[in-house]
Amino acid sequence: MLHRSVVKILTCIICCFRSKMVKNIEWDTTIKQNQFIKLEEVPKDFEDVARWIESSRISFAVQTEVPIYRIHIQEFWKMAKAETVNKIRRISATARNKEVIVTEERIRTVLKLGDNAEDLINLNKDDILDGFRGIGYVGDFSQKKEIKRNGLTRDWRFIVHVIAMSLAHRKGVYDGLNLEWSGEMLNLCVNQKFNLSGLIFNYMHENARGHTWAMYPIFIQMLINDQYDKLPHDGGPYTFHVPTSRQYTEIKTNEWVMLHDWMYTAERLLLVKAAYKKYREAVQAKQQRIMQVEEEVADDEPPKKKKSSENPERLMGASFRAADSEEHRRHIQDMREIHAMKEKEKREKKLARREISESERPVVVTEEEQKLEDFVDTLLTNPEETSISKSTPPKKKSTDEGPSRFPQVKPTRISKPHVPPQRIRPFQDLHDKLVKEIGATPAKEICLLKTK
């Protein structure tokens, strides 16, 4: 009994220890990372580059389709532990209570990448940039230190697409390659030795040591199947996001740079070279036409005046020096005569206004005076209408006696002040008398002056 109790206690301790060692696994939300590519279903525009990828050493790794079980991938990365045994780095994990060991050599064997541990795994940054400049790359490499797909032409974009979707370690970034994967692409295209297995294992090893996510689901499933045939599962498959035609539409472009000669088949190379020569001639002819059109437009357009930041006194001196020509002197003389004529007209009008009497002088009505005139109209009534004001004339008061007992009401644009029908208007009799003698307009002005 004592022995059984000790075993139970040890089992509980081990379970608790394992529960603390279990990691929280994140999944690729895009469900695209490490998916297989069906090269036989790509559009005809990428026929040559797809045929080359199918014959390359990454063909098996990018085309192999195996059933992936979510529980296998989840348990592997939850229990994955990076360790070194006998100076050999490896990843030890469990899936369905079975130990799974991953090493660089096992990845090389299972994925059939055909490389060696002694092969080069990194390239110099300058060598990578020079290599991509040679295939027509036009993007900026200095800031983010990665190759963007849009900086390449059609066939080279497709290679970046395949590597980013099927081989690269990143999730959610499929439009570019970092330094390591850019170097791998260059070595692959020139058929140079490159330790691709070591690169994949390094990213797996780093993932097992740190913040873990479900990386390389196809490769992990292939490694598990290589060690255990028909491992039990709960039936929950891991399904990739179905590729759409939009992926290939984004890769297509009207610009074209040929692949290397050895990347074409012998029967296709001559045809492609002839087509590429015709394409280059058409591009050059188009560029020449554009240059001719730009030159014609530049000849037709007047030259643009450049803004000068010179001293105003220097500009004035330059204008005086320009007046030395006969045309400028004639222009200046004409301007002087026009100015003299206008000044003469102004003086004549000024003398004429002085001779006009005040009653004959034309009245210039401003906006403010017009408002005041409208205000006077509200104070005065029609002299022909019968009102109580005629029977009982108001007492006349001089301006020195102070303001009237009826305060002035300021009008607004919205509504005019309410005028009682029997209110006695100031200067009503005077206004009626002046209307008969000198007219309505002078009568209003006189009454307005008295009101002020």
255 CB neighbour count, 10 Å cutoff:
12
- Work out the mean pLDDT of the chain and round it to a whole number: 79
Instruction: Give yes or no for residue 326 having a pLDDT over 80.
Output: no
* 382-395 confidence digits (pLDDT tens): 544 444 444 445 44
CB 160 within 8 Å of CB 147: yes
pLDDT for position 316? 45
pLDDT for position 98? 94
- The band of 2, judged by pLDDT with boundaries at 50, 70 and 90, is very low
Instruction: Give yes or no for residue 295 having a pLDDT over 50.
Output: yes
- Using CA atoms, how far apart are residues 400 and 189, in angstroms rounded to an integer? 108
Of 124-138, 259-273, 310-324, 348-362, which range is least confident?
Answer: 310-324
pLDDT for position 175? 87
pLDDT for position 360? 56
315-342 burial code (b ≥16 CB/10 A, e <16): eeeeeeeeeeeeeeeeeeeeeeeeeeee
pLDDT for position 18? 47
**What's the mean pLDDT in 72-100?**
94
Tokens for 450?
């008295």
- Residue 307 vs residue 144, higher pLDDT: 144
Query: What pTM does this model have?
Result: 0.62
Q: How would you class 262 by CB atoms within 10 Å of its CB: exposed for 0-12, middle for 13-18, buried for 19 or more?
A: exposed
pLDDT for position 156? 95
User: Domain locations in the chain?
Assistant: 21-264, 367-395+409-451
- The band of 417, judged by pLDDT with boundaries at 50, 70 and 90, is low
Tokens for 428?
């009503």
SS3 316: helix
Place of tokens 């007047």: 302
Q: What is the DSSP string of 334-376?
A: HHHHHHHHHHHHHHHHHHHHHHS-TTTSPP---HHHHHHHHHH
Q: Which uninterrupted H or E stretch holds 214?
A: none
- Using CA atoms, how far apart are residues 451 and 156, in angstroms rounded to an integer? 92
Calculate Rg over the CA atoms of the chain. Answer: 48
- The band of 226, judged by pLDDT with boundaries at 50, 70 and 90, is very high
* 167-221 confidence digits (pLDDT tens): 999 887 788 899 899 999 999 999 899 999 999 999 999 999 987 889 999 999 9
Nearest Cα residue to 247 out of 182, 162, 181, 185: 162
Instruction: Give yes or no for residue 120 having a pLDDT over 70.
Output: yes
pLDDT for position 389? 46
CB 75 within 8 Å of CB 96: yes
Instruction: Give yes or no for residue 58 having a pLDDT over 80.
Output: yes
369-391 burial code (b ≥16 CB/10 A, e <16): eeebeebbeebbbebeeebebee
Q: What is the DSSP string of 118-173?
A: TS-----HHHHHHHHHHTT--S--SSS-SEEGGGS-HHHHHHHHHIIIII---SS-
* DSSP bridge pairs for 100: 93
- The band of 16, judged by pLDDT with boundaries at 50, 70 and 90, is very low
Tokens for 318?
């330059």
- The band of 399, judged by pLDDT with boundaries at 50, 70 and 90, is very low
- Using CA atoms, how far apart are residues 85 and 75, in angstroms rounded to an integer? 22
Distinct helix (H) and strand (E) counts, the chain: 18, 5
**What's the mean pLDDT in 309-322?**
48
- Using CA atoms, how far apart are residues 116 and 172, in angstroms rounded to an integer? 30
pLDDT for position 6? 55
CA within 13 Å, CB half, 224: 30
pLDDT for position 26? 84
What single-letter amino acid sits at 447? C
Residues across the chain? 452
pLDDT for position 438? 82
CB 102 within 8 Å of CB 90: yes
CB 119 within 8 Å of CB 108: no
**What's the mean pLDDT in 4-31?**
62
- Residue 90 vs residue 45, higher pLDDT: 90
**373 CA to centre of own chain:** 60
- Using CA atoms, how far apart are residues 229 and 238, in angstroms rounded to an integer? 18
